[in-house]
Structure 1
Amino acid sequence: MFEVGTHLFEFPNLKALAAATYVFSGYTNLMIFNRVIKGKLKIWNFIAVFFLGLFNLFTTFLIPIGFQGSDGANEFLYPWISTADCLRLVYSPIERVIFLFLMFYMSITLVSISVHWHASFELLKGTFKNKGSKKKEWIVLSIFIVCAVAGVQYLNTVLLNKFTVYWLQIRFCFEVVTIVIFFLWARRKTA
Structure 2
Amino acid sequence: MVNRYFHYLIFINILINVFMFIPSILLSERYKGALISMIIGIFIGTAILLLFVRSINNFRKQTIIDIIDLVPKWFRIVFLLFLVFLWFTAGMVTLLAFTNVTVRFLNPEMPSISMHLIFLGFIVFMLYTLKTEKILHTLEIILVLNVPFLLLILYQAYVNSYLSVNSILEAGTQLWEVPSLKAIAASSFVFSGYANLVVFNRAFDIPFKVKHLWYVPLVCAFALCTSFFIPIGMWGMDGVTDLTFPWIATADTFRIEYGPIERVISLFILTYISLSLISVIIHWHVAYEILKNLLKIRDRKIKAHRYGEITILTVFSGIVLVIEHFLRERQILRMGEMWLIFRLPGELLLLIVVLMIARRRLRGASLKQN
Task: Give me the whole-angstrom Cα distance separating, in 1, the residues matched to 2:297 and 2:285.
Answer: 19
Q: Letter of the 1:140 partner, please give it.
A: I
Paired position in structure 2 for 1:141: 313
Q: Structure 2 vs 1, CA of residues 184 and 38 (structure 1 numbering), >3 Å: closer, same or farther?
A: closer
Q: What RMSD, in angstroms, separates the aligned Cα atoms of the two structures?
A: 2.2
Q: Which amino acid in the other structure matches residue 172 of structure 2?
A: G
Closer, same or farther: CA 72–93 of 1 in aligned 2, 3 Å? same
CA separation of 1:70 and 1:99: change in aligned 2, threshold 3 A: same
Q: Distance in 1 between matches of 2:223 and 2:200?
A: 23
1:76 correspondence with 2:243: yes
Show the counterpart of 1:180: 352
Partner of 2:182: 15
Post-superposition offset of 1:127 = 1.5
For residues 1-191 of structure 1, what are the structure 2 equivalents within 5 Å? 1-42=168-209, 45-132=212-299, 133-191=305-363
Amino acid at match of 1:141: L
Which secondary structure does the structure 1 equivalent of 2:352 belong to?
Answer: helix
Shifted more, 30-39 versus 131-140: the winner is 131-140
Structure 1 CA distance for aligned equivalents of residues 190 and 307 of structure 2: 35
Distance in 1 (alpha carbons) for counterparts of 2:266 and 2:310: 37
Mapped to 2, the partners of 1:40 and 1:87 lie a distance apart of: 43
Distance (whole Å) between structure 2 residues aligned to residue 7 and residue 177 of structure 1: 32
1:48–1:18 distance in 2 versus 1, CA, 3 Å: closer
TM-aligned CA deviation for residue 102 of structure 1: 1.2
Contact 2:196 2:283 in 1 (8 A): yes
Give the 3 Å change call, closer, same or farther, for CA 184–4 of structure 1 in structure 2.
Answer: farther
Instruction: Figure out how many residues of one structure are paired with residues of the other and give that number.
Output: 191
2:187–2:224 contact (8 Å) kept in structure 1? no
Q: Which has the higher contact order (CA 8 A, sep 6+)?
A: 2
Shift of 1:43: 5.4
TM superposition shift of 1:112: 0.9
Structure 1's unaligned 5+ residue stretches are: none
- Alpha-carbon offset, residue 108 of structure 1: 1.6
The superposition leaves residues 11-69 of structure 1 with CA deviations (integer Å, 9 ceiling, x where unpaired) of 42222222222222222211111111231334564234444333322222221122112
Which TM-score applies when normalising by structure 2?
A: 0.47
CA contact (8 A) 2:240 2:246 kept: yes
Identity %: 38
Q: Match for 1:143: what amino acid? A: V
1:84 to partner: Cα distance: 0.9
Q: Deviations over 1:92-133 (max 9, x none)?
A: 122111111111222221121111111111121121335222
Distance 1:32 1:166, change over 3 A: same
The aligned counterpart of 2:87 is: none
The 3 A distance-change label for structure 1 pair 37 and 48 is farther
Structure-1 separation of matches of 2:178 and 2:348 = 17
Gaps (5+ residues) in structure 2? 1-167, 300-304, 364-370
